């Protein structure tokens, strides 16, 4: 079991005629060659070193490493047809996890086909029907006016519980999230039924719900599961492959609505498939131009030290939790993120709340790598005291 507590690179447009001045500034520009940037770095290096000095040399080194990564991207893109149409790569469920991870690193998204069985799909549709039938459409320009949304999915169907723990999905989460935390967690669950005449959402990223810049580290990843077929016409998710690698100066940016058509594609997929996409990828819900509803469900994961978008502690009571697998209980947030983040009276919240052991010892939750340092300090301090 993976560790947790519990194709196409789209080219950049050469012109942006018709876009507003703000949009032209926002869309990544081309025309600056690799040689030009190499010369710019050469010219800037003496000033960088002079300004930072040896005391801050590590910052200069970090800047140069990131600049070299950008050069590699430019070099890669220079060999591509800059008008090729954007695509989402599709793989089978038995694809090697490393291959799936490599695709996501490059494109920011991937579709894995036919993960769910016909029986699981039928069960999901049967379980969700009474819930969707009893709730109104959303009221909001972002969530939609002809769209129904439903949360706390792990009590709506046990199939969702299984979906959240699929090993190949968790291996993707391990690769992208564990570098930034000691354990990740469920960020939200949401079933989405897009009705006829629903308009396309504005193009956006999802990770601005965590309003800080985090270069080089993803903070959240979404899995959009197709409970119905996702088609060109019924509201398939619109994505911009490769946009997770665009330069970023602010957390929230809504200026990418009018991108050239060749940079944008749709997550068309059969029911039972899943679209995995990074929180930093530009995307939107598609317009439903059909006469029937289309249903999908998001299971989202995020770093374990962030506040979850869906409040699992209030969304699921103790009785709900006790019929779930322990791995899912912990994924919902019932763990201590090292060091010492999220305990209850010095106890693991899984022990305190889920198992009901409220009289355990006040315990420290320290990373293994740190324990020898603390132990050495304690021995030294005792020696001095003696």
Query: Do 112 and 200 reside in the same domain of the chain?
Result: yes
Contact indicator for 75, 105 with CB cutoff of 8 Å: no
pLDDT for the residue 340: 92
Question: Using 50, 70 and 90 to split pLDDT, how confident is the model at 65?
Answer: low
Q: Which residue has the higher pLDDT, 65 or 6?
A: 65
Asked if the structure places residue 282 within a domain, the reply is yes
pLDDT for the residue 378: 83
Tell me the pLDDT tens digit for each residue of 201-214.
999 999 999 999 99
Please say which residue of 56, 78, 100 terminates a domain: 78
Query: Do 69 and 95 reside in the same domain of the chain?
Result: no
- CATH number of 201's domain: 2.60.120.620
Query: d(Cα 27, Cα 40) in Å, to the nearest integer?
Result: 21
Over residues 236-252, mean pLDDT: 94
User: Token digits for 154?
Assistant: 């792990």
Query: Do 249 and 178 reside in the same domain of the chain?
Result: yes
Cα angle at 170 between 169 and 172, to 5 degrees? 70
pLDDT for the residue 66: 56
Question: Using 50, 70 and 90 to split pLDDT, how confident is the model at 72?
Answer: low
Question: How many domains would you assign to the chain?
Answer: 3
Rounded-to-5 percentages of helix, strand, coil across the chain: 40, 15, 45
- Indicate if the pLDDT at residue 20 is higher than 60: no
Query: d(Cα 255, Cα 203) in Å, to the nearest integer?
Result: 8
Taking the model in full, what pTM does it have? 0.79
Question: Using 50, 70 and 90 to split pLDDT, how confident is the model at 336?
Answer: very high
Query: Do 70 and 158 reside in the same domain of the chain?
Result: no
- Indicate if the pLDDT at residue 52 is higher than 70: no
Range of the domain at 305: 90-331
Query: Do 255 and 359 reside in the same domain of the chain?
Result: no
User: Token digits for 369?
Assistant: 């790598």
The radius of gyration of the chain from alpha carbons, rounded to an integer in Å, stands at 24
The DSSP secondary-structure symbol of 366 reads -
Query: Do 115 and 151 reside in the same domain of the chain?
Result: yes
Question: Using 50, 70 and 90 to split pLDDT, how confident is the model at 61?
Answer: low
Contact indicator for 108, 241 with CB cutoff of 8 Å: yes
User: Token digits for 207?
Assistant: 């990770």
Torsion angles phi and psi, residue 257, rounded to 5 = -70, -30
- Indicate if the pLDDT at residue 324 is higher than 60: yes
pLDDT for the residue 48: 58
Asked if the structure places residue 21 within a domain, the reply is no
Asked if the structure places residue 202 within a domain, the reply is yes
Contact indicator for 367, 339 with CB cutoff of 8 Å: yes
Asked if the structure places residue 211 within a domain, the reply is yes
Contact indicator for 109, 277 with CB cutoff of 8 Å: yes
Q: Which of 113-127, 139-153, 202-216, 366-380 has the lowest mean pLDDT?
A: 366-380
For tokens 């520009």, what's the residue?
Answer: 29
pLDDT for the residue 374: 85
Query: Do 160 and 292 reside in the same domain of the chain?
Result: yes
- Indicate if the pLDDT at residue 252 is higher than 50: yes
Q: Which of 54-63, 70-79, 206-215 has the lowest mean pLDDT?
A: 70-79
Q: 357: closest CA among 344, 376, 338?
A: 344
Query: Do 303 and 358 reside in the same domain of the chain?
Result: no
pLDDT for the residue 74: 46
Asked if the structure places residue 152 within a domain, the reply is yes
Burial readout 340-374 (b: 16 or more C-beta within 10 A, e: otherwise): eebbeeebbbbbbbbbeeeeeeeeebeeeeeeeee
- Indicate if the pLDDT at residue 268 is higher than 60: yes
- Indicate if the pLDDT at residue 67 is higher than 80: no
Asked if the structure places residue 290 within a domain, the reply is yes
Q: Which residues in the chain belong to E strands, given as ranges?
A: 90-91, 109-112, 147-150, 184-194, 220-226, 238-239, 265-266, 274-278, 283-284, 294-303
Residues with Cβ within 8 Å of 129's Cβ and at least 6 positions away in sequence, in order, are none
Over residues 85-89, mean pLDDT: 94
Tell me the pLDDT tens digit for each residue of 216-243.
999 999 999 999 999 999 999 999 999 9
pLDDT for the residue 15: 38
Q: Name the packing angle between helices 34-52 and 57-78 (round to 10°).
A: 180
pLDDT for the residue 173: 98
Query: Do 62 and 166 reside in the same domain of the chain?
Result: no
Question: Using 50, 70 and 90 to split pLDDT, how confident is the model at 180?
Answer: very high
pLDDT for the residue 84: 79
pLDDT for the residue 23: 41
Exposed, middle or buried, 137 (CB in 10 Å: 0-12/13-18/19+)?
A: middle
- Indicate if the pLDDT at residue 27 is higher than 50: no
Residues with Cβ within 8 Å of 29's Cβ and at least 6 positions away in sequence, in order, are 12
For tokens 């209980």, what's the residue?
Answer: 329
% of the chain residues with pLDDT over 90: 67
Query: Do 365 and 273 reside in the same domain of the chain?
Result: no
- Indicate if the pLDDT at residue 14 is higher than 70: no
Query: d(Cα 294, Cα 231) in Å, to the nearest integer?
Result: 9
Concatenated DSSP letters of 215-264: TT---EEEEEEESS-B-TTBTPPEE-TTGGGS--SSS-----TT--GGG-
Asked if the structure places residue 7 within a domain, the reply is no
Over residues 58-86, mean pLDDT: 56
Query: d(Cα 198, Cα 225) in Å, to the nearest integer?
Result: 19
Query: Do 220 and 259 reside in the same domain of the chain?
Result: yes
Residues with Cβ within 8 Å of 70's Cβ and at least 6 positions away in sequence, in order, are 37
Please say which residue of 49, 78, 107 terminates a domain: 78
Torsion angles phi and psi, residue 240, rounded to 5 = -120, 90
Asked if the structure places residue 359 within a domain, the reply is yes
% of the chain residues with pLDDT over 70: 78
Mean pLDDT of the chain: 85
Question: Using 50, 70 and 90 to split pLDDT, how confident is the model at 35?
Answer: low
- Indicate if the pLDDT at residue 377 is higher than 80: yes
For tokens 């299984």, what's the residue?
Answer: 162
Query: Do 208 and 120 reside in the same domain of the chain?
Result: yes
């Amino acid at each position: 079991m993976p560790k947790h507590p519990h194709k196409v690179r789209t080219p950049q447009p050469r012109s942006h005629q018709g876009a507003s001045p703000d949009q032209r500034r926002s869309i990544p520009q081309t025309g600056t060659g690799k040689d030009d940037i190499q010369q710019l770095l050469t010219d800037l290096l003496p000033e960088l070193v002079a300004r930072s000095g040896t005391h801050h040399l590590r910052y200069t080194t970090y800047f140069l490493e990131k600049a070299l990564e950008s050069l590699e991207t430019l070099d890669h893109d220079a060999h591509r047809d800059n008008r090729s149409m954007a695509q989402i790569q599709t793989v089978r469920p038995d694809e090697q996890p490393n291959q799936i991870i490599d695709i996501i690193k490059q494109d920011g998204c991937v579709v894995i086909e036919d993960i769910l069985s016909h029986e699981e799909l039928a069960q999901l549709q049967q379980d969700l029907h009474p819930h969707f039938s009893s709730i109104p459409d959303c009221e909001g320009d972002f969530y939609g006016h002809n769209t129904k949304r439903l949360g706390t999915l792990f009590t709506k169907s046990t199939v969702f519980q299984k979906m959240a723990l699929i090993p190949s999905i968790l291996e993707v989460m391990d690769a992208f999230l564990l570098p930034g935390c000691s354990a990740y967690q469920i960020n939200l669950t949401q079933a989405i039924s897009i009705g006829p005449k629903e308009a396309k959402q504005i193009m956006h990223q999802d990770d601005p719900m965590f309003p800080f810049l985090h270069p080089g580290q993803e903070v959240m990843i979404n899995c959009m599961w197709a409970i119905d077929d996702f088609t060109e016409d019924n509201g398939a998710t619109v994505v911009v492959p490769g946009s997770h690698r665009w330069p970023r100066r602010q957390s929230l940016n809504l200026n990418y609505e009018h991108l050239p058509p060749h940079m944008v594609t749709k997550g068309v997929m059969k029911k039972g498939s899943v679209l995995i996409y990074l929180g930093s990828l530009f995307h939107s819900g598609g317009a439903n131009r059909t006469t029937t509803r289309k249903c999908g469900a998001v299971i989202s994961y995020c770093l374990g030290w962030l506040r979850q978008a869906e409040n699992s502690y209030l969304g699921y009571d103790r009785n709900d939790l006790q019929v779930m697998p322990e791995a899912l209980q912990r994924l919902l947030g019932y763990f201590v993120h090292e060091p010492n983040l999220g305990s209850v009276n010095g106890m693991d919240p899984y022990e305190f709340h889920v198992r009901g052991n409220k009289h355990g010892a006040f315990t420290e939750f320290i990373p293994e790598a740190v324990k020898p340092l603390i132990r050495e300090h304690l021995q030294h301090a005792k020696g001095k005291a003696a």
